[in-house]
Structure 1
């Protein structure tokens, strides 16, 4: 990684992540660090899109609002101990709120979710930015289809799973891109959708063991259930990553450093995921792929295990750092940025 990329991370993405965590804690002091980190991953995606769309990399009210919807909505809908009818009723009510209907919240969770939508509406009024809310409704529909997929069991095939994965991932980053600027043209929408699909499939590859344990269906778990090695799927995913990376050149804004960093991060996610589940690949494929990796797969496995073992410590350290910022000058204050929760 060159000096310019390190500078972009340390002076751009890392301060944005810390500012996002501070804003999240200000919104809800009960949010755990894992939930904040989960939401921050989405916030970083928006931050990567901002310069490509001619905007300054910064945390905005709509980024906080949309990103925090993930721990409040997705985590609830993924719960196994919550009845299906309750989830469907929540989805119906949430859909109405996203459409702009006046619906009183029924509980604290809904009150928080409604407030997050308020934050998005405060930055992007519906009458002026209808595309923002069309995108939010699209990701909500994809989430509902994903819920239906979870109940389909063994009736699913590769095409069904791929369609839902593309819809969920693609619509998520499509919403990110719209929140980065408020509107998109067709070419920008296509790249954002492809970007989201790539991230979703990358997440599915990373989560293989957890998905197998929970019985979740992805392209990768379906292949494993049919005793197929994952070589061909990952080869296709790497080719798709290169395709999405080439699409970044269509953005006139954004530096070459940012675009190269994004391409490198996407490929690194895939390589690290493969290194962590070598039992699902042929030896020949692993040897070939490791030859194109800047790190040996054994090192990537050790690094993953080390980080997993220290996750609690890192979360506590990051939490303490954010608390210190709340008690003193925030990074946003130092940079004279717009307050993240301002309406």
Structure 2
């Protein structure tokens, strides 16, 4: 990128240095939950689950009641403070989510629920940034478009039925479209992707907001670069795979920031770089086993060939702690966001261990479990019971399908 080129290289170097300096031992000072505390948490969760299942089984489940019960569980049982509850369950956030689901399915009726949920993960980060930066929380044309771009492009790039040359050919055409050229689409999915770029152009005029499009090109180049991680050609060093990961994550959230604010100052840019880079590291940690099976050699999945992930998870924890301190230094008054970030990162770290126990040593799993409010065996036993709730969420989302697309 032109304006922030030197800044980005400097932040990148600092971030890599932080990672290299992070300890790889389990943190001793982290809070532990004894057996009695875990049982109390589990009883509360069982009570919540019974209430939800009872409501779902009725002929016409009351969505408002389910939402209120969820709010009570977060606030009374998980001890979320009011300010964080407002960030998660605000009417504006819920309305923007519903609005996105309507518009996404109106744009493409054939999108799967999985695609919608993947896009929502992108959207929620941007809605959170709108709130963080004091903007109105809403699904703008560009936020909808950017959130959908990556289910489409990911599905195309990850498809086993499309060969590497075709993928690289698409990447070239997509880059041209992002620069403003009118490019003929070679497939229906490409046509959809190019239409999404047009939606962004409808909100951000290229001459006035050149950095918006530089940021979109940057994430595209980072995604293209990530094709180097695919076997059998992947012979990159740990340092090279780590750089590819943080660039992919950082450029993605920097683009989020530009689409929310239009322009970024240096502090905003630095914050978004670290935020995106760390989210990508967490993502790669959680997906290590799946990536390994698919021949994608990330910094985490490639290490599964010869080691467990104990030490890499510890480094990830300490890197998150460093980023959390940076947020406190940069935005000392944003206490709600700070607290929510701290909770979210802690949850994702523990979820990585629970969901991928084959990738960690037995001793490490036992140690990590002592810091979780639930026994891992309890969480495992609830997987099947949660399925009706998941199906209900899908039904609720599909109720927003419409044939009219109005931005």
With structure 1 as the length reference, what TM-score do the two structures score? 0.87
1:314 Cα offset (Å): 4.1
**1:292-319 residue CA offsets vs partner (Å, 9 max, x unmatched):** 3333333344455655x55872453133
**1:121-152 residue CA offsets vs partner (Å, 9 max, x unmatched):** 11111111111111100000011111132145
Q: Is the 8 A contact 1:61 1:341 kept in 2?
A: no
Aligned counterpart, 1:299:
378
1:39 matched to 2:119? yes
Aligned counterpart, 2:359:
280
Can you give the 5+ residue segments of structure 1 that lack an aligned partner in the other structure?
Answer: 328-338
Task: Give the 5 Å matches for 1:59-138.
Answer: 59-138=139-218
Distance 1:148 1:282, change over 3 A: closer
Larger relative helix fraction: 1
1:234 Cα offset (Å): 0.7
1:254 Cα offset (Å): 7.5
1:321 matched to 2:390? no
1:214 matched to 2:271? no
Whole-Å Cα distance in 1 between the matches of residues 392 and 245 of structure 2?
31
Larger Rg: 2
Aligned counterpart, 1:240:
319
Q: CA RMSD of the aligned region, Å? A: 2.4
Q: Is the 8 A contact 1:173 1:195 kept in 2?
A: yes
Moved more, 63-72 or 1-10: 1-10
Whole-Å Cα distance in 2 between the matches of residues 146 and 70 of structure 1?
14
Whole-Å Cα distance in 2 between the matches of residues 18 and 187 of structure 1?
32
Q: Is the 8 A contact 1:64 1:340 kept in 2?
A: no
Distance 1:64 1:250, change over 3 A: farther
Aligned counterpart, 2:264:
184
Aligned counterpart, 2:67:
none
Match for residue 175 of structure 1 among 242, 249, 255: 255
Q: Aligned to 1:101, what secondary structure does the other structure show? A: coil
1:39 Cα offset (Å): 0.7
Aligned counterpart, 2:347:
268
Whole-Å Cα distance in 2 between the matches of residues 13 and 269 of structure 1?
21
Q: Is the 8 A contact 2:229 2:298 kept in 1?
A: no
Aligned counterpart, 1:200:
280
**1:172-192 residue CA offsets vs partner (Å, 9 max, x unmatched):** 111111111111112211211
Whole-Å Cα distance in 2 between the matches of residues 266 and 201 of structure 1?
11
Whole-Å Cα distance in 2 between the matches of residues 84 and 6 of structure 1?
45
Aligned counterpart, 1:336:
none
Whole-Å Cα distance in 1 between the matches of residues 127 and 308 of structure 2?
36
Q: Aligned to 1:155, what secondary structure does the other structure show? A: coil
Can you give the 5+ residue segments of structure 2 that lack an aligned partner in the other structure?
Answer: 1-79
Whole-Å Cα distance in 1 between the matches of residues 384 and 311 of structure 2?
26
Distance 1:204 1:300, change over 3 A: farther
Match for residue 147 of structure 1 among 217, 227, 237: 227
Whole-Å Cα distance in 2 between the matches of residues 207 and 136 of structure 1?
24
